[in-house]
A and B are shown apart, each in its own frame.
Chain A
Amino acid sequence: MVSASEWVQPSTRTDLIENLVSGVDRYNPNNVGILEDYLYHQIRTEEYDCLANLAILKLYQFNPDLYNPDVVINILIKALTSPFPDFNLCISLLDERAANVNPDEPDPLPALLPLLTTLHNLLQQCRFPAFWQLYRSDKSESLRDNYTVECVGFEDAVRRVVVRAVTGAFKRIGSERLSTYLNLDVEDLGEYVQKLGWTVGDAGVISLPSNPDNQPVSTVVQENIQLHQLTKIITHAQVA
């Protein structure tokens, strides 16, 4: 069972950040720098804290002057690989803003947002080969060169999305299929699945260990009513 508590409050979150996320200080525009630094810390490490990032977007929502497109893009890249609907939760805080007023510093977000959204949809629809194809294509060059290259472990984070989907749905999977999902060639694939504790069998078929999601069982659900749950109605009948 995956718990949401790590999402609500990651163990890596410091007290300082916790105070900002949970307290009324989250509305103070002067604190945006602390939260932005924390985001860049997440970019450099493989940590992730959705609620802290949403707090940045909240400050941007209330104080449009603070808006920093690079920060927004990095937040979205982090949200892309979350098992929760973080990506849409972030977008939902991006209010419509007036067209860019400063031509010297063009806002990269309007150009990248459709691409990020498409990538997100592909992951959500488990269209993993299509995701990699688009991500490796020229269309994504600027995203790769300016942003994801800085985001430590981005591709591995995408692979973890794949692993989550495959773990639940498969008992055994062909290595060819899996290699297109993970975008790994056969050699790397063997090493990768070994780390996961999956075994490569004959003819390159990979077996996954059992987990609650990949062993469906038929059950008959029976209602379970205890007498004390019916006390009200029985008492009523007696009184009447």
Chain B
Amino acid sequence: MAQRWESDLDEDLQDVDLNLAIGTYGQNGIYEDAQPRIDEATLLAVQQQMAQQAAFSVVPDVVKRFIVHFHQAVLDNNLAEITVAYESGWNKLTEKYYQKTEWPEAEVIAPLVNDDQIFLILYRELYYRHVYSRLQPDIDDRFHSYENSCELFNYLLNSDGPVALQLPEQWLWDIIDEFIYQFQSFCVWRTKVKSKTAEELQLLADAGQVWSSYSVLNVLYSLIQKSKIHENIAAVQEGKSAEEIAEIVGEYGVRPLYRMLGYFSIIGLLRVHSLLGDFTLALKVMEGVELNQKSPFTRVTACHVTTYYYVGFCYIMLRRYTDAIRTFVSILNFILRMRQYHTRSYQYDQINKTADRMYALYAICNALSPSRLDDNISNIVKERYGEQFAKMSKGEEGIPAFEELFIHACPKFINANPPPYEDPDLLATYIEEPPVEPAQRHLGLFLSEVRAQAPVPTLRSFLKLYTSLDASKLANFLDADEEEMVQQLMVMKQASRSVSRVEGEKSLLDGQTIPTSDLDFVIDENMVHIAESTVGRRYAGWFIRNTEHAQRVYDTVKNAPLPPKSGSASTQQHHQQQQQGSAPPKSAGQKVAWGGVKVN
């Protein structure tokens, strides 16, 4: 089974011929004035070489040195040096020289790295990522970045045995993350038929498997199978020894590079399936992956955050708001705690943006299924989305607020298939009647769930005032027909029950129905009896906050300089510096984890 998928992948990859590709839509047309006597190809080669030399000469020396150094680090499999080059060097030089232009092309810097094809593939990976994040990728960039990804995965998957290459975990995550981002970006870009040039239309008509859903899934599944990551996870959970695990996962799986790529590919599948609107499958592929902070994928913060975002979102689309809330609370608290360590990370912005979207989703869930799971997070939500939250808690008239937050916070949905570029007639129809955008389709489905329970907030506010009440009287208050109101009560009842994951269940899809509301009622023929659960005073949070506060005060007092004594000012200062070095002042925010504080 595995082999068939890999052979499919092989076929895809055989279609990719970089030279041919460049020949087709690279420099064509630039040298039209070439003298006919000279062989066109030779001339082109010479001119290209000259252009490359010219390009090489303008590369700043510091960049050249960086590339040589970077290359050496990769050759040596020196993870520490690679990490420095990858996380710091590349970004610093980007800020300095390549804020608004591309890095030198791989062909230009090839002489610096002895034409090392593997390094050049890795270099292009960074090159295109820079184009996508800082500049506007054109169609050539999009096609070539796909080809380069294929070459990279081809090298990893189809060499003779596992490759010796080692890369930092962060980079491995970024490779998978970027691969899916570029896929998603391409899918969005290709749906905008109107703005395409004739040349682009032609290229898209011939695009074949370029960035197709199947080709992307093939890569992810191949990495998962090669690394035997599922077997690996299962073995770890069964408590097998390191030797046993090595035996099980084989020559690929024992290498950190393959193991982590396998792991990240599972998260990649979660994301791809979410983008395609298959929320059940998205959660199903996570089978076996434990969602806790000890899981290996949490070592890369960006991966950790992405995972929780998509899992939470899928739960919303499965109408499991309690599970969604729990997922968001867990990761948002983590982000708050990690904040002080991450402000300087180049991914901080991205993590912050995702966190903001999760606050919005949390607001949505809380409006649909009010809970008091975490006051800390709820307060931040009130600060950021208080206005929308108030509207959403009002039923029907809150629909625009749901709409606004959903569109702000949902994934960038895509269509699985391109517009019919290969058929001009169909394409004309497509332009005339463009289909509904995927995000709008999913919004519509989500809103139908919201509308179904729109009467709930109003009913709730009335029921809260009584312990029992005549149905006709309640209908009167609501200015509604009694029968209609009874039906709404049934809706309310159903909205206050939800499937929710119970501890110990393996699959993210498993769960039991639990009551999710503090307000419950029953209809006894024509009487409504209401019961409300209240939350007793909470002491734990208060205790922890004040202990922390006392600790901070104590530390400050302890670290404060003693009143200066004459003659000893310099030693005093020295002493103070030492103290600051060893005991940094406590900043705000929860330093001490809450542990497993649970409210039952």
Is A223 an interface position by the 8 A CB rule?
yes
Q: What would 17 more interface pairs be, CB under 8 Å, given A84-B318, A88-B317, A172-B524?
A: A4-B511, A7-B509, A8-B510, A24-B1, A62-B416, A85-B317, A92-B278, A95-B277, A125-B491, A127-B487, A165-B494, A168-B490, A213-B515, A223-B538, A224-B600, A230-B544, A233-B548
Residues of B within 8 A of A237 (CB): 547, 551
Indicate if the CB atoms of A220 and B600 lie closer than 8 Å: no
Most buried by B among A8, A92, A231: A92
Give residues in B with beta carbon < 8 Å to A: 1-2, 5, 213-214, 217, 221, 225, 276-281, 284, 287, 317-319, 415-417, 420, 426, 429-430, 433, 435-436, 438, 441-442, 445, 448-449, 451-452, 483, 486-491, 493-494, 497, 499, 507, 509-515, 520-526, 529-536, 538-540, 543-544, 547-548, 551, 554-555, 592-600
Q: How far apart are B26's CB and chain A's nearest CB, in angstroms? A: 31
Contacts of A93 in B (CB 8 A): 276-278
Q: Which of A25, A172, A218, A230 contacts B525 (CB 8 A)?
A: A172
Query: Are A125 and B452 closer than 8 Å at their CB atoms?
Result: yes
A-B contact list, 26 entries, CB within 8 Å: A1-B514, A8-B509, A61-B278, A62-B213, A62-B417, A84-B499, A85-B449, A88-B445, A93-B278, A121-B452, A124-B449, A124-B491, A126-B491, A169-B490, A177-B483, A213-B515, A216-B521, A216-B529, A220-B535, A220-B536, A221-B599, A221-B600, A223-B538, A223-B600, A229-B594, A237-B551
Chain B residues contacting A126 (CB-CB under 8 Å) are 487-488, 490-491, 494
Q: Chain A residues near B532 (CB, 8 Å)?
A: 218
How would you classify the secondary structure of chain B's contact residues: helix, strand, loop or mixed?
mixed
Contact B214 A51 (CB under 8 A): no
A126–B534 Cα gap in the complex (Å)?
28
Closest chain A residue to B535, Cβ basis: A221
Chain A residues lying within 8 Å of B490, measured Cβ to Cβ, are 126, 165-166, 168-169
Residue ID in chain A nearest B511 by CB atoms = A4
Most chain A Cβ neighbours within 10 Å, of B277, B435, B441, B534 = B277
**A171-B522 contact, Cβ under 8 Å, with A127-B487, A223-B597:** yes
Instruction: Give the nearest-CB partner of B595 in chain A.
Output: A229
Q: Footprint of B on A, CB under 8 Å? A: 1-5, 7-8, 22-25, 27, 50-51, 54, 58, 61-62, 64, 84-85, 88-89, 91-93, 95-96, 98-99, 101, 117, 121, 124-129, 165-166, 168-174, 177, 205, 213-225, 229-233, 236-237, 240
The answer to whether B486 touches A177 (Cβ under 8 A) is yes
Kindly identify which residue among B426, B449, B497, B596 contacts A168, using a CB–CB cutoff of 8 Å. Answer: B497
Known: A8-B510, A166-B490, A224-B598. A51 touches B535 (CB 8 A): no
Chain A residue contacts of B594, Cβ below 8 A: 229
Asked whether A4 lies within 8 Å of B512 as measured between CB atoms, the reply is yes
Residue of B448, B512, B595 touching A2 (CB-CB under 8 A): B512
Is A95 a contact of B417 with CB atoms below 8 Å?
yes
B599–A223 touching, CB < 8 Å: yes
CA distance A24 to B1 in the complex (A): 8
Chain B residue at minimum C-beta to C-beta distance from A223: B599
Interchain CB contact under 8 A, B317 and A92? yes
Q: Is there an interface contact between A213 and B445, defined as CB atoms closer than 8 Å?
A: no
Which among A98, A165, A177 has the highest number of chain B CB atoms within 10 Å? A98
Chain B residues whose CB sits within 8 angstroms of the CB of A168 once the complex forms: 490, 493-494, 497
Contact between chains at A218 and B592 (CB < 8 Å) = no
- Given A121-B452, A220-B533, does the pair A170, B523 have CB atoms closer than 8 Å? yes
Query: What's the nearest-Cβ distance from chain B to residue A42, in Å?
Result: 17
* B318 A85 Cβ-Cβ under 8 A: yes
